[in-house]
């Protein structure tokens, strides 16, 4: 196995591990969602965490399966992977805070918890767009070679 294959295998494993962790959180959120529905509580925040966490976990699994495809230098592929992991965790943590506290994180005002939630969403947003732009460029280059 070449050095490049080892790097890609390590990245794929890393992405899959983080995907599995976030999926596990979303599965637990599903249990809390069920409990909230039975209690006739406000379930939308638990639903967001359950569905959003599942989507982020699956996104990491999909990237793990395809991380070897973009025609990018290894260092840029590492940055891409870590930016997507950062996005997935930052937004998942924000959704956890929202589900537990009810703080929606819609701006820099309000409670510390609200500002923290908003900040986590900002971090995730800032990370994900350049990551996927680099991913698309790498995939387009791979198609041309």
What is the full per-residue pLDDT of the chain (145 aa) written as tens digits? 677 788 899 999 999 999 999 999 999 999 999 999 998 777 899 999 999 999 999 999 999 999 999 999 999 999 999 999 999 999 999 999 999 999 999 999 999 999 999 999 999 999 999 999 999 999 999 999 8
Residue 73 vs residues 3, 13, 55, 76, 79: alpha-carbon distances, Å: 13, 18, 27, 5, 10
Closest CA to 120 of 145, 96, 100: 96
Tell me the residue range of the domain where 50 lies.
3-144
Residues in the chain, total: 145
Using CA atoms, how far apart are residues 32 and 60, in angstroms rounded to an integer? 23
Residue 61 sits at the vertex; the CA angle it makes with 57 and 67, to the nearest 5 degrees, is 135
- Structural domain count of the chain: 1
């Amino acid at each position: 196995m070449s050095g490049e294959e080892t790097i890609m295998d390590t990245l794929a494993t890393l992405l899959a591990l983080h995907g599995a962790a976030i999926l596990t959180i979303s599965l637990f959120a599903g249990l809390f969602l069920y409990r909230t529905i039975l209690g006739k509580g406000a379930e939308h925040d638990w639903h967001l965490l359950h569905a959003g966490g599942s989507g982020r976990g699956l996104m990491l699994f999909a990237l793990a399966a395809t991380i070897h495809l973009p025609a990018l230098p290894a260092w840029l592929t590492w940055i891409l992977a870590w930016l997507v992991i950062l996005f997935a965790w930052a937004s998942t943590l924000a959704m956890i805070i929202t589900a537990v506290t009810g703080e929606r994180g819609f701006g820099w005002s309000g409670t510390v918890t609200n500002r923290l939630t908003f900040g986590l969403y900002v971090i995730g947003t800032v990370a994900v767009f350049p990551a996927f732009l680099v991913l698309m460029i790498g995939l387009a280059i791979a198609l041309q070679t």
